[in-house]
Structure formats: C-alpha cells, structure tokens
Structure 1
Amino acid sequence: MVRISEFQIKDVVNISDGRRLGNIVDFEINTDTGKITAVIIGGSGKLFGFLGKDDDLFIPWTQIVKIGADVILVRLKESTTFQYQLEKPKE
C-alpha cells in the first residue's frame, strides 16, 4: 500500500527527454470505478509567484511507466515544457 503523501515527494521525470516535470499535487479519480485516471503536476511559479503561475499538467495514468522509490517515470512526446500541457482526459 502507498500513501498519497509518498507520491507527492517523488520527482516526476519524462523518459522521452529526461526532463524533470515537477511533483504530483493532485490526482484525478474516476468516482464510478475508484481508479486513478490522471496525476496532476503543479505548475511552477514564475519569479516567486509575482508573474503568475504556469498551468497544471494532467498526465494520464496510462503514461506512467514506472514508480520507483524516489522518482516516477512517465512517457510523454518529446517537446518543450510548455507543450507538455495535456488536455484533461475525457471520461
């Protein structure tokens, strides 16, 4: 069994290009099945939050490759950080 707090301290890394995407701030759960459908990576603050905040990243659970002791590996298409922003999955 794994606690949500244990997920939140792990770094999320895209194995397609090695970028660190951030940390999980929330989960999306299908209330009918009780299964996690996506993890949400919090957007980074720009200049200590004075210039706003980047959008959160929704990463579908199916894109998670491996959950390790210190890191969660995901596979997203190679591209720049701003293009990682995925549309929220439809149920």
Structure 2
Amino acid sequence: MGKVNLSYLRELEVIELNSGVRLGKVEDLIIDTEMHKVVSILVSKPKGLFKINDCLEVPWNKIKRIGSDVIIIDGVEYIEKAIT
C-alpha cells in the first residue's frame, strides 16, 4: 500500500498483533511539522454505556501493517488502556 489519507485511515479498526484485541478506530494523526512526518495515531477507545469517547496515542513505529480494513500494531501495553 502506497499513500493513504486520513479519511481512509479513519475507517480502519486498530488491532493489537499478539492478542487480537480491538483497540478502536483511528481518530486523528499527530504530525511533527518540523520533521514533516507522522509521529503517532490517535485511536478512539470504544464508548461504554456511561463513558465519553477518549483516545489512545499510539506511536507510528508501533504500526506493523496497514491493511484494507485494519491497522495491526505491536503494543500489548495499549490493551489495558483501551478497555479502562
């Protein structure tokens, strides 16, 4: 996969590689404007019954693959943050 835009990424579910846990969907990107590169993705945590939607910041280097319908990350440390 070559170039993608934010609209495309926002449709993708983020899944942790080792556990298969769904962390949420891409909400936004953090960009370093001096280095001209994406630093991280913001992943919206699933909304619970009484929870507001907040985000996990996942560094770009944790992304292992961007597929046609999911983004795979290597980051078991984000699982607990996603479900709490």
TM-score of the superposed pair, with normalisation by structure 2: 0.83
Runs of 4+ with deviation above 6 angstroms: none
Q: List aligned pairs for 1:2-81, cutoff 5 A.
A: 2-47=4-49, 51-53=50-52, 55-77=54-76, 80-81=79-80
Q: Which runs of 5 or more structure 1 residues have no equivalent in the other structure?
A: 86-91
TM-score of the superposed pair, with normalisation by structure 1: 0.77
**Structure ranking higher in helix proportion:** 2
Which has more radius of gyration? 1
* Percentage of pairs with the same residue: 28
Q: Which runs of 5 or more structure 2 residues have no equivalent in the other structure?
A: none
Aligned-CA RMSD value: 2.2
- Paired AA for residue 37 in structure 1: V
Higher RCO (CA-CA < 8 Å; seq separation 6+): 2
